């Protein structure tokens, strides 16, 4: 089976397995989504969702957040890890949003990636999930599975994103990236699979790849 055939099969099967793709990070606006995604760096979505209610109760807009002392933000988000860096980024990006964007999260990759603590993956998540712009955020699950499924030989997420965008239709990207994440968490974990119980690896005969 050639790469495009594998991609087509995976697209169809993932749609069968995950017809609904709820956004994993709890949020009520593009701003709260942006903050939640920033906090998710090197942290699980579950833990972020446990932390953000207290943070957003304190401040759920950039106008409010800019007035919260960095030390207070750091205290609340400490369970998410990297709290000094993340707290400083949250405070500063909130100031920038008010000063340069009228308190509104910009709807462009370029402007988002200028914000402190916001890299391409974070910007991609916000563009896809908050604004519906086609994007393919690549996290560790997607990077791992793209390699296992022989869709990319990329040694970094930039190359993996580029490769996946070539084999999957643009209109599928926003939903598909979540479907792959859900599948990776549930069936094909970082510890590997033996090709017998992982549904898709078994179907595509990827035993040697997954071991």
Q: Is 57 a catalytic residue?
A: no
- Alpha helices by DSSP H, the chain: 3-17, 30-39, 45-58, 62-65, 70-77, 83-101, 109-112, 120-129, 140-148, 157-167, 173-186, 199-203, 207-210
pLDDT, mean of residues 147-168:
92
Given 114, 139, 150, 165, the catalytic residue? 139
- pTM summary value: 0.91
Statement to judge: residues 204 and 116 lie in one domain: no
Q: What is the pLDDT of residues 56-108, one digit of tens each?
A: 999 999 999 999 999 999 999 999 999 999 999 999 999 999 999 999 999 99
49, with CB counted inside 10 A (0-12, 13-18, 19+), is middle
Q: Is 139 a catalytic residue?
A: yes
Q: d(Cα 118, Cα 126) in Å, to the nearest integer? A: 10
Q: Which of 129, 154, 169 is the last residue of a domain?
A: 129
Look at residue 67 and give its three-state secondary structure.
coil
Structural domains in the chain (count): 2
For 92, the domain range is: 30-129
Residue count of the chain = 211
pLDDT, mean of residues 19-28:
96
Q: Which of 61, 96, 129 is the last residue of a domain?
A: 129
Statement to judge: residues 46 and 106 lie in one domain: yes
Statement to judge: residues 142 and 199 lie in one domain: yes
Statement to judge: residues 109 and 195 lie in one domain: no
Sign of CA dihedral 130, 105, 160, 46: negative
Statement to judge: residues 114 and 151 lie in one domain: no
């Amino acid at each position: 089976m050639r790469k495009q055939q594998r991609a087509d099969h995976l697209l169809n099967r993932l749609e069968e397995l995950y017809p609904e793709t709820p956004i994993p990070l709890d949020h009520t606006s593009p701003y709260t989504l942006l903050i939640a995604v920033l906090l998710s760096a090197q942290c699980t979505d579950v833990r972020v969702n446990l932390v953000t209610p207290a943070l957003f109760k304190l401040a759920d807009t950039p106008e409010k957040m800019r007035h919260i002392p960095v030390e207070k933000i750091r205290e609340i988000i400490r369970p998410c890890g990297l709290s000094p860096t993340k707290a400083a980024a949250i405070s500063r990006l909130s100031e920038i949003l008010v000063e340069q964007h009228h308190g509104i999260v910009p709807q462009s990759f370029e402007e988002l990636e200028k914000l402190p603590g916001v890299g391409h993956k974070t910007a991609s998540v916000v563009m896809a999930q908050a604004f519906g712009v086609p994007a393919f955020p690549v996290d560790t699950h997607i990077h791992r599975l793209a390699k296992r499924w022989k869709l990319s030989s990329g040694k970094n997420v930039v190359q993996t994103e580029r490769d996946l965008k070539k084999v999957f239709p643009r209109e599928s990207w926003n939903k598909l990236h979540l479907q792959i994440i859900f599948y990776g968490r549930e069936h094909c974990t970082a510890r590997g699979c033996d090709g017998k119980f992982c549904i898709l690896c078994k179907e595509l005969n990827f035993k040697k790849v997954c071991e």
